[in-house]
Amino acid sequence: MCGIVGYVGRSEAAPILLDGLRRLEYRGYDSAGVAIVDGDKVETRKCAGRIAALGKLMAEKPPSGTFGISHTRWATHGKPTDQNAHPHFDASGKLALVHNGVIENYQALKDQLMRDGDRKFSSETDTEVLAHLIGKLYDDSIAEATAQDSNGNATNAPPLNQRGLLVDAVRAALRQVIGTYGIALVHSDVPDFLVGARRGSPLVLGVGKEENFLASDVSAIVAYTRDAVYLNDFDVVAVERDKFEISSVAGEAGSYQLSKVEFSDADIKKGDYPHYMLKEIFEQPGSVRDAMRGRLSSEECTAKLGGLNMSPAQLRDVGRVVLTGCGTALHAAMVGEYLIEALAQIPTEVEFASEFRHRNTPMTRDTLVFAISQSGETADTLGALRESRRKGYRTLGICNNVASTIARESDGGVYMHAGPEIGVAATKSFTAQVTIMTAIGLLLGRMRHLSTSEGTRIIDALNALPTQIEEVLKLSDEIKAIAKKYANAPGMLFFGRQFHFPIALEAALKMKEITYLFAEGHPSAELKHGIIALVRPELPSVFIAPDDAVFSKNLNNIEQVRARKGPVIAVTSGAGADRLAKIADDIITIPTAPDYVSPILTVIPLQLLAYHLAVELGRDVDKPRNLAKSVTVE
Ligand code: G6P
């Protein structure tokens, strides 16, 4: 949510910043801006709208300079207008700041600044208040240092340490802030210098050769360097061309670890695909394979998840599981609940991360908590993780982004290894999460009653998945034709039972996110308890009805819809296709698979259905309205 890129080096900053913003556009895209220091002035360009609009503005009047900051915004405080776009300035106009997060006490800080002197604020943002506060503290310290100089010691006084004073001002301001921030700033009196800081919003330092970068996400800078330092909460970093220094908001010297970014620039290119979402849907044979690579033991008929950091005895003694996340990750958790309860018979709860963190969920001593998050930065999920750890529960992360905050703050976990996901609508991360859930169910099951032959059956089914997913992907054109047929539908209803109920929810979420059509998912049997009132000839119902133990139950529900002239699209497998031939209007037939792995196959045609329908409706598939890939505010 919101993207930050900063650069200091020997090259022109403008193209680097703009390129970085383009790569971060999936984090927020309602306005964008840059500030580049050119000699003694800060050149800024900013506007409401997409990065393309900013690019046009910059092309008309190119800003020049070798250090600067930039931002792409997802509005929290203040509408997406030119004025509210970042960067924001202090009263002197010399300090420019970009910010992700929310400053909760901005009104109190603003009132305090107004009491100290008449100030003009040109935006409605909390960020501008922080820019004024840092600027004031810096100007005050310069005034104080200059006064001492003129107090008789002018000639012998050490040169003014502007860089140190600017960092001090940042620290002093942040000590007054309540809320979350990832910030980057420049000051036109302090050449070749960036300051960054974070609390609750990610910020990474990219270390180059005679150039350094700041970014809210490494994908912005991976084209320039793969050496990165992931900053911790309360870190303040002072960045020059050829060095950097990390300290804390409190002023203590900080330590850091240099990491190698796992993916390259090529991995985040769209290639020949028209959209990232389609590319990522088609990457699923590989991403599912990577999610289980090295984690299945045919010898012991179980999963090996060393990252959980748990001994066999600890795994055996797990008495309860809580799975938490938001959006798509929550739906993966819901599949996980079915899997863990079925395979391991361990009572499992799914909690919306946002609810979990604010309510007193009853927990037992032997409860194991999982925080599931593609980005590893979602504020609500992070809040849930912290709350759970605060109470002393072992809390594990299931994340895609290596070194993300959730991954770092958890007691252990499992990386998805799905590769960078750029499309705002999550696809490959979902199937990776469900794959990992299956592995966790298998592992916990094998610590209890699950036999070696059952373990082997699950491992075989998992190993067969990549090839089966390839088969499903071959249906893309067929699904596109179905999407065209229903392009005028007012919405869609999705139904599934058991493991496929969460798939109905996920399919409906994809449909809402990228087509903006009304869509809801329900357990199939709930149809008759109210939802049936919606059934009519214009509104299609999508049934997830593979050839499994509840197929005939699904068939009953499909008949109930048909009896009321509702069109039916069915996702089925095996003998299901024949049995539905005369009943459903459209049938998508996928390979047959055991219950435990089947959700990974049934969700893919529905990702494709949402995708093709969104394209048919002319929607901006990779950047749907109002959404952001990673929501780092509450
Ligand atoms: C946002 C995105 C969703 C995503 C959710 C959780 O709401 O729009 O697509 O599922 O965040 O994201 P996470 O990174 O925690 O999996």
CB–CB of 292/435 below 8 Å? yes
Ligand 1 centroid to 496 CA: how many Å? 22
pTM for the full predicted model:
0.86
Cα dist from 392 to 74, 313, 364, whole Å:
34, 19, 11
Binding site membership of 330 for ligand 1 (Cβ less than 6 Å)? no
Give backbone dihedrals phi and psi of 29, rounded to 5 degrees, phi first: -155, 40
**Interval 56-112: pLDDT, tens:** 999 999 999 999 999 998 877 778 888 889 999 999 999 999 999 889 999 999 999
Ligand 1 centroid to 200 CA: how many Å? 16
* Alpha carbons 215 and 199: distance in angstroms, whole number: 14
Q: Does a cis peptide bond (omega within 30 degrees of 0) precede residue 362?
A: no
Least confident of 155-159, 192-196, 564-568: 155-159
- Does the annotation mark 582 as catalytic? no
Ligand 1 atom index nearest CA of 378:
15
Binding site membership of 509 for ligand 1 (Cβ less than 6 Å)? no
* Alpha carbons 621 and 515: distance in angstroms, whole number: 8
**Interval 347-363: pLDDT, tens:** 999 999 999 988 888 88
Does position 628 have pLDDT exceeding 90, yes or no?
no
- What pLDDT is attached to residue 148? 65
Does position 387 have pLDDT exceeding 50, yes or no?
yes
Ligand 1 centroid to 613 CA: how many Å? 21
Cα dist from 523 to 489, 529, 548, 550, 576, whole Å:
22, 11, 15, 12, 19
Q: How confident is the model at residue 418 (pLDDT cuts 50, 70, 90)?
A: very high
Mean pLDDT for the chain?
Answer: 93
**Interval 431-483: pLDDT, tens:** 999 999 999 999 999 999 999 999 999 999 999 999 999 999 999 999 999 99
- What pLDDT is attached to residue 7? 98
**Interval 240-265: pLDDT, tens:** 999 999 999 999 998 899 999 988 88
- What pLDDT is attached to residue 124? 86
Which residues, at least 6 apart from 70, have a Cβ–Cβ distance to it below 8 Å? 4, 5, 6, 17, 18, 20, 21, 32, 33, 34, 35, 87, 98
Among the options 94, 279, 428, 629, which is catalytic? 629
Which of 342, 374, 287 lies closest to 600 in space, CA to CA? 287
Which residues, at least 6 apart from 600, have a Cβ–Cβ distance to it below 8 Å? 288, 431, 434, 435, 465, 469
Which residues, at least 6 apart from 162, have a Cβ–Cβ distance to it below 8 Å? 142, 187, 189, 190
Ligand 1 atom index nearest CA of 326:
6
Binding site membership of 381 for ligand 1 (Cβ less than 6 Å)? yes
Q: Residue 519: is it exposed, middle or buried by C-beta count within 10 angstroms (0-12/13-18/19+)? A: buried
- What pLDDT is attached to residue 159? 65
Ligand 1 atom index nearest CA of 406:
15
- What letter does residue 124 receive in the DSSP assignment? S
- What pLDDT is attached to residue 155? 45
Ligand 1 centroid to 594 CA: how many Å? 28
Q: How confident is the model at residue 40 (pLDDT cuts 50, 70, 90)?
A: very high
- What pLDDT is attached to residue 156? 43
What are the structural domain ranges in the chain? 3-147+155-267, 270-473, 474-623
Torsion angle, alpha carbons of 5, 9, 15, 18, to 10: 0
**Interval 290-310: pLDDT, tens:** 999 999 999 999 999 999 999
Q: Is 333 helix (H, G, I), strand (E, B) or coil?
A: helix
Q: Do 3-147+155-267 and 474-623 agree at the fold level?
A: no
Ligand 1 atom index nearest CA of 329:
16
Residues 567-602 as b/e (b if ≥16 CB within 10 A, e otherwise) read bbbbbbbbebbebbeeebbbbbbbbbbebbbbbbbb
Residue nearest to atom 2 of ligand 1 (CA): 629
- Does the annotation mark 243 as catalytic? no
Share of the chain above pLDDT 90, in %: 83
CATH class as words, domain 3-147+155-267: alpha beta
Pick the CATH number of 474-623 from 3.40.1280.10, 3.30.43.10, 3.40.250.10, 3.40.50.10490: 3.40.50.10490
* Alpha carbons 61 and 236: distance in angstroms, whole number: 33
* Alpha carbons 393 and 364: distance in angstroms, whole number: 9
Residue to mutate, 74, 623, 629, 634, ligand 1, most ligand atoms under 8 Å from C-beta: 629
* Annotation: CATH topology of 270-473: Rossmann fold (3.40.50)
Residue 90: count other Cβ atoms within 10 Å of its Cβ. 24
- What pLDDT is attached to residue 151? 61
Q: Residue 466: is it exposed, middle or buried by C-beta count within 10 angstroms (0-12/13-18/19+)? A: middle
